[in-house]
Every structure is written in structure tokens, then in C-alpha cells.
Structure 1
Amino acid sequence: MKASPQPASALPARPKEASLISVEAPPPEATRRTATLLAYAGRNDNALRIAVVILYVIVVLLGATTSSIGIPTLRQDPAHPLGLQIGASSPIRSDEYNAFSAIVLSIMATGGAPTTSVLAAPAGLAHRYPSGGFFETFVYFDSTLLRTATFLPDTMVFAAHWWLPALLLFLFLPKWFSQVGSARRWGWMAAFLIALSPAASWWTMMPIQLIAYTIAGSSLILSAHKRFAEGQRAVPALQCLVAGILIAGLPSFYIPWSLVLGLPILTATVGWIIAFRGRWRPKLLSVGSAGLVALVFGLGTLWENRAGISALLDTVYPGSRRSSGAAQPLAMLFGAPALGPMQDMTPVGINESELSTAFTITFVWAALLIVFIRNLGSPRDNVVILTVGTFAVLWLTWCTVNFGERGSSIPLLNYVQPIRAAQVCGILASVLVCLLLDRLPKKVGWRAPTVAAACCALVTAYAASLLQQSYLPFMTRPLIFAAAFTVGVCVFVTTKYASKVWPIVLTSAVAVVPIIGANPLIFGLGDLRDSETATYLRNEGRKAAASNGVWASDFSPFDTVMTANGVPALSGLQRSGPNSEAWKNLDPEAKYTNAWNRGGGFIFFEWTVGQPLDIGTLSYTADVTMVRVDPCVLKDRWPSLQGISSSRSLDAPCLVPERTLAWAGREFFVYKFR
């Protein structure tokens, strides 16, 4: 008689309980209790997923986000802002409100590509938006969906786009945990540690976006593998198609963090499928199909964005910059639990975003768990833990050890500045520690939790003390002790009572404390849509787009409102690199190439009537190109220039006063040309 095949849902054999406590085979009644608890946990998990979806729908309907677009410089009258905002906007997140959100609003206004500066090369790869290419339309689906603003309220579309990565994180990370053999509850804890980390908060959820799509794609590959093993064809083929498209977007947006965060999850997923004790056909079908789709759509997207990539690589800044590993301050590495004071004070010698990290203290926790869980099993049974752990330690080493000049020649690693690795490697450690916690026995003694709690508390206290001596001198000693004590308690109860849910709830709730007031809660789009100035510019933007005309401004926040309302412009965003042919109109002899050959930045104008054209940079930043020019000279060199905005009254023979507009509490003069 032919042996029955192995069930497709079987997982790699789990090792016996850790050697802290010997565990005998459970009696039948214990098995029944376990089954009851699993059913209860499943119901709770379903309830949590439903709650996440409901919460997402609510914030979308309310148009609520944590964006800083309500900052006073983006208000028509800061004393009388439009809409409702709770909490203050974060000035340090200028990239968010002047670039990321402005580009999103611009796509919504135009129904197509955003109106970044016409002097700039396309920045679709850097900001995940399509410009008409077939492959990028699917790979950057999140930006493609922004075009639904033509028949849905802008506020809802903006909020839906804003929260989509978080939605995918909470829906797919717990599922991914269960698919690789761990309990879903640890996936929930990992999701909360990621979403509530200071790095995610002070970087406006960028780390979430850079890992969520890869997690969703990886989970779909695992689902496809299971269905292929069950003999299904159509559904897993569709899952592989969607997974491949999601994964194809991995090398986009902020590529250094994509490498740090997305690549380990994808590698661990593929490793788990290969190590699975089952037939090879489902493995090859799932990994091969998804990989082929990812390869085709990924290469297709890179080809469609070749102009922007080429422009960026050829820039003076950041250009083809390569980095080497270097030691970062311990205060920054392990100080995340004590960063609460940043909500009320500005750090010394560094800004809030640069100082913020994920919960890197989980590295210490994970290392101690490995010591106490002496028998994890064979490498095949722990391929996910080994893969995530290897990547996590690799990136921790990159930001704690000086590699010297040779480090800049290490492929992939040299694309990541050590400070960027330091800010987010704790996300990998958070995933790792949750995978390890799942391997603890149901009953744990006092030794492991006590040692783990004491070590994590001491490291946190030391890092917090260093923060007080360097970046946050106004931090009080009671806050240092409170941060260390809280970390110790969370580590202790979560390790001691690993089979319970309430320690996870406690740890997730405590993780909110350092970031609860870091960002505002804003309902709607503020003055960027409904103000008189925004309405006027939106109408002018449509006229300019219809006649291939452009505008220019001499005030950066005014550039933002123009971009957000779809006004084609010379001033504004140059995020990928320059359009060299376009710059020749202003600089035909390439005299100022070093000033305008820059990416990831902004183009500012200054009106200098009667003065010669001059192009330079600002002394305090490397990503701003400053063009000082007479508006009449600019009109001669750029005939399609239709209008300008000036922060002061101008007297030039080519200008015709149009009207005045209010923005950022100031009066601006709008001119057309004779």
C-alpha cells in the first residue's frame, strides 16, 4: 500500500521545549486544554484583524493622518488654520511635508505624474510613483491608486495612502509568523514594536513602508507554497503574481533601508520554503513563479526609471556615494526607550530624526534568550531565526565596528551609511526576539527572566545616562530610572509568562510612551487644498499644464503649495537628479554644474532684478540649489514661463502685476509677463 503523502500544512519539526525545564508528554486533558486555548487565540486573532481593518476604515473616512502638513509655514493664515489638528506639527520632518506629502497631493491634483521641477529628472524610483510606464504602474500600485482622487474625496485618498503600509504590516506580519511556525501573537508584538519605535515615528513611518510590502509579498509566497502542495493551481498562481509585484518594489523609495529591512524577510521566507520537509515541486513553483514575476517587473521598473537612476548616480551629491562601517554612539544605539523628552526639547548637536532609532535593546534580549534556550534544534528547523539573526547581527556590526576604507568596497553594505543601519537594525532584532520568545517552554523559571530583565535595564540606564550627558541634557534622572525600570519589567514579564497574552499587551502599551506626542493628528489636508491660495494655484496649474507653461517662486513653502496643487514649476523639488538638458537653458556653458548637479533636494529661486544670473548652494545644507536671477532674464531663457510669485514687490519691465496671495502669514505678489 502506498504511503500517504505528508500533509501540506506540516511545518518543519519544532524542537523539544528548551532545556530550562524538562517537559513530559502532556496528558489527554492537557491536550484538550491546549486545543481550547488555540481556538481562543484564533478567535482573538481574527478579532484583532477585524479591529485593524475597522480602524483603517475609520481613519480613512475621517481623513486623519499623523502628517505634519499643518505646520505654520504651510498655512495661509497660521493664526486661523483650516480644519482640525491635535498636537503640533514636527518641523524636523521637512522631507515629509515639503516633499513626500507634496508629491502625493500633486499626483492627486494632476491625476498623473507629480509636478516636481521641470529642471529635475523623473524621481519615480525615489518616491514610488509611476510616470506612465507599464511595469511601474503595477509595482508602485500605492501611488497609482492616488489617481482615484478624481472621484473620491482627496482627504480620504490621502489618508488611505498614508496608513496603507501600517495596515499591511499588522495584517501580514502575524500571519507570516504563523506560516513560518511561530505563534501569531508574537507577530502582533513584533508589529507593535516596529510601528511604535521612535525611528518609525520620527521618520514619518518610512521604516514601516520599507518593510510592509515585502512582508505582504513574502506571506503570499508562503500561502502559494501551501496551496501548490495541496494541488491547487489558479489561486496560488495569482498569489505568486501579486507577491512578485510587491517584492519587485523592494529596491525603491529609500534603498539603504530597503536593503536593511526588506531583504532579510524575503531571504528568510525563501529559506523556510527550501528547508520545508516536503515535495520540491510546490517549492519550485512558489519561489520560482514569484521570483520570475519579481525579476520581470523589477527590471522593467528599473528600465522605465533609467533616466532618473542615471541622473542620480551622476550627481555631485549624493551621487554614487559609498559608505564604510563605523561605530555609532551607544547613546543613540540603545537609547530609544528614553527618547520621550525629544517631544518637548530639541537635542543638542543633532536633530530628532537622526537621534531616533528602533528598539535596539532587543538585541541584548535576543542574545540572552539564545543563551538560555540551549537546544533550539537543527539549523533546518531554525532557518528563519538563523537568517533574520544573521542579517540583524551583520547590520549591528556595520554600525558598531570601524571597517576603515575597505568597508566601502563591500557590495550592498557600502550603500548603507552606518548611522542609517543604526536607526533601523533594531527592527530586525524585534522580529528576532519575538521568534525566539515563541521557542520558550510554557513554564519558565525565574533565572532567565531575571537575568534578561536586569541586563536590558542596565544597558538602557547606561544609554539613557549617555543621552543626558550628550544630546538631551535636560533629561531628568527619574526619567532615566523610569525608562530602565520599565524596560526591565517588560522583558521580565514577557519572558517569564511567554504563554500569556497580557505581557505582550503591556509591552506594546509601554512602547507608545517615547513617541506619543512626536507627531500631530490632523484631519484633512489643511490649507493645502481648501484655502483661497491653494484654489487659485490649482486653477493656474491646470491652465499651465494645458499650454506646457511653468511657474516659479522665491519662497520654499510657496513651492510646496504649488507642487501640492499640480502647478508645473521651475522651482521646487529635484529629488532624483537634474535634467541636464533643461539646465542648459539656464547654464549653457555648464559653469555652475557643481551647484545644480544634485539629487534628493530642492531648487530655490531668488529674484535679483538688474543683477547677473548666479547659481550656487546654501552653506548649511548640501541638497539645495539656489538660483539668483532677474525674472526678465529667466523669461528670456525659459519662454514658457507664465507666472512668478515673489515675497516682495518687484519692479521689472517684463512683469505685469496679477494679484496678491497670502501664505505662511505673509503677502506674496503674483506677476505675469508682458
Structure 2
Amino acid sequence: MLSGATTSSLGIRVLRQDPQSPLGTMWGTPRDIRSDEFLTGTAAELNVLSLGHTSSAPLAESPDLVLQVASGQPFETLFFYDGDLLRLGPWLPDAMLFAASRALPFLVLALTLPPLLQRLGASRPLSWLGYALVVLAPASLWWSFTPPRVLSYASLGCFLLVVATERWAAATAVRSRAAALVLAALGGIALARLGGYYVPWSLTIGVPLVLAVAAWILFGPQRRAGLLVLGVGAACGGALLALVFWENAEAVRATLDTLYPGQRRATGDLLAPFHLLGAPGFHHLTGGERPAIGNQSENSSAFLVCALWALLLVLRPSDATRAQRAAFAALGVSIAVWVAWCTTAWGSFGAALPLLNLVTPPRAAQTVGFAATLLLVIVLGRTRKVGPWSALVVALACGLATAYGVTSLRGTLLTMSLTEVWVSSLAVVVAIWVVTVFPNSWLAIVPLCGVLLWSGAQVNPVILGLGDLRDSQAAGAVRQIGADARSDASYVASDDPLVSALLVANGVPSMTGWQIAGPREDLWVELDPDRSEELVWNRGASYLRMSFDGAAGAEPVLSNPTPDTVLISVDPCSIPEVLKVETLITHTKLDAPCLTQSSEFVWVGKRQRVYTVGSSG
């Protein structure tokens, strides 16, 4: 963290002043498929570092809930404890704060998940194997480590609830019981984050662990203490979440009313086998091949094969307690539900099921393997010693399942050979056999963790600092443009999303950028009075763009060049007053009579012209 090192792809060539000469030190290759990381998430986080709070285009509602960062409102500030790091940007070094923010979920997960899994039944070596399987799963690597961040909220909250239960049960003084209640409240608040972050993955990644820990508490010897702790945690977490929603009422309403994602309802469907069982073959993707269907992120998954491994072991003699068996069952039921969601067509019945209908089958398939990983390590930790031949049967069954899934992967990875299929399947057989026979041996666990690290080491780059987004001459130029715009209470607009990313990352009040939470309906109606284009602009999770090629004197034209882009085409001299745009940035030479070129800078190797909008006379 002190070095400012992160695994962000912000150093990608399309976010450089000179694409051939990046600033800063970087190892590895940034991935253009992760545009929602380097174009959206990273730029938005750097925006908070610049300003000390979130900001968004005036046409968009507040992004606080989506970004999990406060803008100074009291309940948000308490709720988004990790995002508060970014708000220290005006006072502390940005690169270090950015690195600390990106590293915090890994630290929280390292401090809470292993001890939590050990209480549920895992041995110490197995608990750390669970950590490695979660952090280094292909879905984690290809989704810029978003799944571990989701799991960190669940892990932290559950761990605090477990410690609170233990402290309450052992308490002999009022002070000890008060401390237990405080821990319970903090645990509930941490778990409430699952209700405000990316809900589909909160349901598939976070909720299974919460259910398992709740079952462990309720079926354990400290049930009465556990009921009290769970009640306090639920009340405090629910209350604070409700207050945060109240502070962001307009953004919540806008998100729920959007045609996408707010009104989207999914149903279960049959997916190709690789979506569920193809994870061990994903090392092939590090070679740079683009899948024929979908992309690297959409096709990635976690290690669902661990569920089959756990199922074969749970049938054997076990030393699990009643509480641990309850945790097994809770995780097992969760996995079964999501696997059924990805392997069966549920039709209109599925679309009517609350919560499940918020999760598309591909999102469930990508992440159900995380619960499978947790189930495996706690089941294996309680299973009595397995002999070499019995372990071989388990390993071969899992190897065949892997071969089935990775063979299916060849339908989208056209250069994958049968040799790679069998090598990855054989690696699974060997790993499962060794860990099953020697589950409590670091000599079995550490090499497997090393293989996982090696197989995914090339997915994400490592970069020191903030690269061209902050340290280039172009960044300095737009910061001055931003200062001038703030003094005039006006906005800047660009026709290039790569320039918009530069503007947002440097805290410039920009009309173009992102409509993450949803639209500000009152302003969009000014552009579309009869709401005839509502299908175009009523979206969340979208890029906002402008083009300056509108016919002279014409009204703005709204369109969707891509499903996640909202484009406003305008005549520069007829920009609606409601937008308050007084500065335009484009690499195209404009000759409209109302424009005066005030400066220029270079970004992505192109000369960007800065125009001031005045009267056309």
C-alpha cells in the first residue's frame, strides 16, 4: 500500500497521453475487457480522491450507493467505512489511498475468513486454502477482484457476530456484555452492505455464508446468546441500511425505475457446462485469446467442482458437531438452488420469484463456486481420515466432471486443444487426491496455492501509482479546465469517453461520464419533453456521451450507439441551457460561430481541442 501498487488496468494504452510511452512502472498487461474497471470504477474512485466526495454528471442521480462512497451525509459516512479512505484524498497521497482502498478487502478477508471457517469446521491449513481458492478463482481475477470484495462484507459481518455470541455467552460483567452488543451491531452493519452493493452477487456470494453462520449459531450450544446477537445485528444493520436508502431516496427510486437494470427480471435457464465447471481450464485465457462467444469475464467462474468434492466426502464418517452440520446444510442448499437456476428453464415461474429473479443465470454460474469452496473446506476439515484408494475415487469423479466442463469450454476457446483439457483435468485429480489424503498438511496446501497463483498471475497487471490519468501533462491541463468550470458553475463535455475518463479522474465537473445509479428524470424531460425517447435515457450502469455534429439550430437527438451508452447529439451553438455546458473538448476541429478555441492538449496520441461556448451572435 505504501508503494501505491495496485492491480488496476488504469495503465492501459487508451488511458495514456502517449500510447507508446506510459508513465509510471507497470508489470504485466492491462486487459481491455475490464473497461468497467479502468473506465468506470477507477475513474470514479480517483474522482473521489480529487474532491473528497462523490460527484456525477448533472443528468445522473448520485452514485454513492453504487460506488459505496459517501458524499458527506452522516449515515453514509458511517456505512461506507472502506470508501471513506478515498475521501481523504485532498489531504493524503492519492496513490497510497487508492492502493489502500483496493487492498482493504483482501486484508479484511484474510483477518476474518480463515478464523470463521475454522469455527465452522475447517482446519487452519484448509481455511487458508479456502481463502486462496476464493481470491484466485478465475471469476475473481477476470472481474477485477469484485467477488472477494463482496465476500469480505459477509465475512467481516459474520465473524463479528460469532465473536459477539462467544463474548456474550462468556460474559460475567456488564462491560463485557456491552462490548458484545457493540460487536453485534457492527456485524449487522457490515452485513447490511450486502443490501447496497451489487445485489446479484451479494445473493450468490455473501448470503450463503450468512446463512451458514446463522445456522451454526442457532444450532450450537450458545443458541440463546446467538439469538440475541442475531437480533441486535439485524436491527442495527437494517436500521442503518434504511437510513442510507433514505439519504439516497432519489437515487434508489431512479435505479428501481430504470428499464435496465431496475425493471429487469431474470429466470433460470440451462447454460453450457463450462459456465459451471470450466474454471480449471481458464489458464488458457491468459494467452490472450478472445472467446468466440462472450468474453473472458462473462465466461469465467469459480471452482464449483468443490461442491462435488464436498458431496462425496459428506457421505463418509465425520466428526462434525450438530452446529457444523447445520452450516454444511445451509451452504449445500444454497449451492443446490443456484445450480438449479443455471441448469433448468424456470420460465415465468422463475421470473416471479423475489430475489432470485434479480440474478441472471450467467451471474449465478460465475459465482456459485465460491459457496462450494467454503463448503468443501469445512466438510473436509471434519471428515475422518480418507485412505488413498477412497481419495482416488473422489479425485477421479471430480476429474471427470472437470473434463466435461473444460471440454465444453472448447466451444468458445477455439484454440484450446484436447491435451489442455486432459492436463487441466489431471491437475485437478492430483490436487484433490493430495489434499483429501493430507487435508491438514501445509505441504499439501501450499503447493496448490502456488499453482493457483501461477495460473492467474498474468490476468491482472501490477502498476505503481496512478499513471497518465494523474501524472501526465494532459491531467494537469484538465485540472485547470475543471478549476475554471467550477468558478463559473458550469460543466465540461467531451465527445470521447476516453477523455471523459480523464475529466472524471481529475475531478472536473463533467456533463459526460457515467449514469451509474440512473437518470435525473426532471432534467432528462427537459431534453425529451414528450418522453418519446425514454427507452434511450432511462438506464443505469451506462456511459453518457455527447457529439457536437447536430444540425444548426436543431434540438438534441438522443440515441443508444451501444446498449450501455446514451448519446446526446447537439448543435454546439444550441446546447440546452439546462445542461450549463460552457466548455467542449474534442479532437475534431469545430467551426461553429459560437465557439472559441481556448487551449489544447494531447490524450491517447490525439490533439484535443478545448472550445469555449459563447453566443453565436
Pairing partner for 1:166 from 92, 95, 106: 106
SS class of match (1:93): helix
Output the amino acid matched with 1:555.
Answer: D
- Residues 1:639 and 1:450: Cα distance change in structure 2 (over 3 Å): closer
**Contact 2:54/2:63 (CA < 8 Å) preserved in 1?**
no
**Contact 2:120/2:324 (CA < 8 Å) preserved in 1?**
no
Shift of 1:545: 3.1
Q: Which runs of no fewer than 5 residues in structure 1 stay unpaired?
A: 1-59
1:257 is matched with 201
2:406 is matched with 464
Output the amino acid matched with 2:325.
Answer: N
Q: Deviations over 1:336-366 (max 9, x none)?
A: 1111121221111211110100111112211
Q: Deviations over 1:192-216 (max 9, x none)?
A: 0010000001000111111111101
**Contact 2:6/2:463 (CA < 8 Å) preserved in 1?**
yes
RMSD between aligned residues? 1.7
Output the amino acid matched with 1:315.
Answer: T
Number of equivalent positions: 608
**Contact 2:95/2:465 (CA < 8 Å) preserved in 1?**
yes
Q: Distance in 2 between matches of 1:574 and 1:640?
A: 17
1:15 is matched with none
1:188 is matched with 128
Output the amino acid matched with 1:419.
Answer: P
Q: Are residue 391 (structure 1) and residue 334 (structure 2) matched?
A: yes
Q: Are residue 339 (structure 1) and residue 282 (structure 2) matched?
A: yes
Within 5 Å, which residues of 2 pair with 1:5-16? none
SS class of match (2:596): strand
Q: Distance in 2 between matches of 1:546 and 1:311?
A: 30
**Contact 1:440/1:498 (CA < 8 Å) preserved in 2?**
no
1:107 is matched with 48
Q: Are residue 623 (structure 1) and residue 564 (structure 2) matched?
A: yes
Shift of 1:288: 2.1
Output the amino acid matched with 2:425.
Answer: A
Shift of 1:452: 1.1
Pairing partner for 1:418 from 337, 361, 380: 361
- Residues 1:639 and 1:199: Cα distance change in structure 2 (over 3 Å): closer
**Contact 1:103/1:563 (CA < 8 Å) preserved in 2?**
yes
Q: Deviations over 1:25-56 (max 9, x none)?
A: xxxxxxxxxxxxxxxxxxxxxxxxxxxxxxxx
Pairing partner for 1:287 from 204, 227, 230: 230
1:307 is matched with 250
Shift of 1:378: 6.9
2:514 is matched with 573
Output the amino acid matched with 2:299.
Answer: L
**Contact 1:538/1:565 (CA < 8 Å) preserved in 2?**
yes
Within 5 Å, which residues of 2 pair with 1:66-85? 66-85=7-26
Q: Distance in 1 between matches of 2:422 and 2:318?
A: 35
SS class of match (2:160): helix
Q: Deviations over 1:216-260 (max 9, x none)?
A: 111011111111112122432332232122112111221100111
Q: Distance in 1 between matches of 2:223 and 2:307?
A: 35
2:313 is matched with 369
Q: Distance in 1 between matches of 2:408 and 2:379?
A: 29
Pairing partner for 1:268 from 199, 202, 212: 212
Pairing partner for 1:479 from 393, 410, 420: 420
Q: Which runs of no fewer than 5 residues in structure 2 stay unpaired?
A: none
2:485 is matched with 544
Output the amino acid matched with 2:303.
Answer: F
Q: Are residue 404 (structure 1) and residue 347 (structure 2) matched?
A: yes
Q: Distance in 2 between matches of 1:517 and 1:647?
A: 34
Q: Are residue 511 (structure 1) and residue 452 (structure 2) matched?
A: yes
1:211 is matched with 151
**Contact 2:302/2:367 (CA < 8 Å) preserved in 1?**
yes
Shift of 1:380: 4.2
**Contact 1:552/1:569 (CA < 8 Å) preserved in 2?**
yes
User: Which deviates more from structure 2 when the two are superposed, residues 376-385 or residues 201-210?
Assistant: 376-385
Output the amino acid matched with 2:102.
Answer: W
- Residues 1:160 and 1:668: Cα distance change in structure 2 (over 3 Å): same
1:14 is matched with none
- Residues 1:609 and 1:416: Cα distance change in structure 2 (over 3 Å): closer
Q: Distance in 1 between matches of 2:579 and 2:112?
A: 52
Output the amino acid matched with 1:399.
Answer: C
Shift of 1:517: 0.8
**Contact 2:220/2:322 (CA < 8 Å) preserved in 1?**
no
Q: Deviations over 1:622-661 (max 9, x none)?
A: 1111111111111x43363221101201011111111111
Q: Distance in 2 between matches of 1:247 and 1:548?
A: 39
Q: Distance in 2 between matches of 1:539 and 1:233?
A: 55
Q: Distance in 1 between matches of 2:280 and 2:540?
A: 34
Q: Distance in 2 between matches of 1:476 and 1:650?
A: 52
**Contact 1:595/1:615 (CA < 8 Å) preserved in 2?**
no
SS class of match (2:601): strand
**Contact 2:523/2:578 (CA < 8 Å) preserved in 1?**
no
1:592 is matched with 533
1:65 is matched with 6
2:35 is matched with 94
**TM-score, length-scaled by structure 1:** 0.87
Q: Distance in 2 between matches of 1:171 and 1:184?
A: 13
- Residues 1:381 and 1:576: Cα distance change in structure 2 (over 3 Å): closer
Q: Distance in 1 between matches of 2:235 and 2:2?
A: 38
Shift of 1:379: 4.9
**Contact 2:29/2:460 (CA < 8 Å) preserved in 1?**
yes
Q: Are residue 428 (structure 1) and residue 371 (structure 2) matched?
A: yes
SS class of match (1:449): helix
**Contact 2:8/2:37 (CA < 8 Å) preserved in 1?**
yes
SS class of match (1:461): helix
SS class of match (2:481): helix
Q: Distance in 2 between matches of 1:124 and 1:629?
A: 29
Shift of 1:79: 1.2
SS class of match (2:42): helix
Output the amino acid matched with 1:318.
Answer: P
- Residues 1:144 and 1:546: Cα distance change in structure 2 (over 3 Å): farther
2:543 is matched with 602
Q: Distance in 1 between matches of 2:361 and 2:451?
A: 28
Shift of 1:418: 0.6
SS class of match (2:514): strand
Q: Distance in 2 between matches of 1:615 and 1:354?
A: 32
SS class of match (1:62): coil
**Contact 2:314/2:383 (CA < 8 Å) preserved in 1?**
no
**Contact 2:485/2:491 (CA < 8 Å) preserved in 1?**
yes
> What percent of counterpart residues are identical?
34
Pairing partner for 1:356 from 276, 300, 304: 300
Runs of 4+ in 1 over 4 A off after TM superposition: 374-381
Q: Distance in 1 between matches of 2:371 and 2:226?
A: 25
Output the amino acid matched with 2:133.
Answer: L
**Contact 1:173/1:187 (CA < 8 Å) preserved in 2?**
yes
**Contact 2:600/2:607 (CA < 8 Å) preserved in 1?**
yes
Q: Distance in 2 between matches of 1:480 and 1:514?
A: 15
SS class of match (1:498): coil
**Contact 2:317/2:383 (CA < 8 Å) preserved in 1?**
no
**TM-score, length-scaled by structure 2:** 0.95
Q: Distance in 1 between matches of 2:270 and 2:319?
A: 31
Q: Distance in 2 between matches of 1:71 and 1:429?
A: 34
